[in-house]
Amino acid sequence: MVSTLPLQSAAGGIALLFGLLVLLVTLAMIVWTYSDAQNNSSHPAFLWAIVVFLAPLLGLVLYLLLGRDRV
Protein backbone atom coordinates (compact mmCIF):
# COMPACT_ATOMS: atom_id res chain seq x y z
CA MET A 1 0.00 0.00 0.00
CA VAL A 2 1.40 3.40 -1.02
CA SER A 3 1.09 6.33 1.36
CA THR A 4 -0.13 9.64 -0.08
CA LEU A 5 0.95 11.62 2.97
CA PRO A 6 3.98 13.29 1.26
CA LEU A 7 1.74 14.42 -1.59
CA GLN A 8 -0.81 15.83 0.82
CA SER A 9 1.78 17.74 2.80
CA ALA A 10 3.32 19.15 -0.39
CA ALA A 11 -0.11 20.34 -1.54
CA GLY A 12 -0.73 21.81 1.90
CA GLY A 13 2.59 23.65 1.75
CA ILE A 14 1.78 25.07 -1.67
CA ALA A 15 -1.66 26.13 -0.47
CA LEU A 16 -0.10 27.78 2.58
CA LEU A 17 2.39 29.71 0.45
CA PHE A 18 -0.35 30.79 -1.94
CA GLY A 19 -2.51 31.93 0.98
CA LEU A 20 0.37 33.93 2.45
CA LEU A 21 1.02 35.53 -0.95
CA VAL A 22 -2.63 36.55 -1.26
CA LEU A 23 -2.55 37.96 2.28
CA LEU A 24 0.61 39.98 1.58
CA VAL A 25 -0.79 41.36 -1.70
CA THR A 26 -4.04 42.33 0.04
CA LEU A 27 -2.19 44.07 2.87
CA ALA A 28 0.02 45.86 0.34
CA MET A 29 -3.08 47.09 -1.53
CA ILE A 30 -4.60 48.40 1.72
CA VAL A 31 -1.41 50.20 2.74
CA TRP A 32 -0.91 51.66 -0.74
CA THR A 33 -4.52 52.85 -0.94
CA TYR A 34 -4.30 54.50 2.48
CA SER A 35 -1.05 56.31 1.73
CA ASP A 36 -2.17 57.34 -1.76
CA ALA A 37 -5.53 58.57 -0.47
CA GLN A 38 -3.79 60.75 2.10
CA ASN A 39 -1.96 62.53 -0.72
CA ASN A 40 -4.41 62.42 -3.64
CA SER A 41 -7.95 62.31 -2.28
CA SER A 42 -10.28 64.74 -0.60
CA HIS A 43 -12.08 61.80 1.07
CA PRO A 44 -10.84 60.28 4.36
CA ALA A 45 -8.03 57.84 3.66
CA PHE A 46 -9.11 55.35 6.34
CA LEU A 47 -12.50 54.93 4.64
CA TRP A 48 -10.83 53.95 1.37
CA ALA A 49 -8.59 51.56 3.28
CA ILE A 50 -11.68 49.95 4.82
CA VAL A 51 -13.31 49.63 1.39
CA VAL A 52 -10.21 47.91 0.02
CA PHE A 53 -10.08 45.68 3.11
CA LEU A 54 -13.70 44.56 2.66
CA ALA A 55 -13.55 44.06 -1.13
CA PRO A 56 -9.89 44.10 -2.23
CA LEU A 57 -10.05 44.14 -6.03
CA LEU A 58 -13.35 45.96 -6.35
CA GLY A 59 -12.35 48.45 -3.66
CA LEU A 60 -9.06 49.23 -5.39
CA VAL A 61 -10.80 49.76 -8.73
CA LEU A 62 -13.41 51.99 -7.10
CA TYR A 63 -10.70 54.03 -5.40
CA LEU A 64 -8.80 54.47 -8.66
CA LEU A 65 -11.96 55.50 -10.53
CA LEU A 66 -13.80 57.53 -7.91
CA GLY A 67 -11.53 58.28 -4.98
CA ARG A 68 -8.60 60.06 -6.54
CA ASP A 69 -8.97 63.74 -7.25
CA ARG A 70 -8.41 64.79 -10.81
CA VAL A 71 -5.13 66.58 -11.24
Q: What is the per-residue pLDDT across 12-60, written as a single tens digit (0 to 9) for each?
A: 888 889 999 999 999 999 999 999 999 999 999 999 999 999 999 999 9
In Å, what is the CA distance from 29 to each residue of 2, 11, 45? Answer: 44, 27, 13
CA distance 17 to 29: 18
Q: What is residue 45's predicted lDDT score, i.e. its pLDDT? A: 95
CA distance 32 to 20: 18
Tell me, what DSSP letter sits at residue 57? H
Boundaries of every domain in the chain: 23-71
C-beta neighbour count of 37 within 10 angstroms: 23
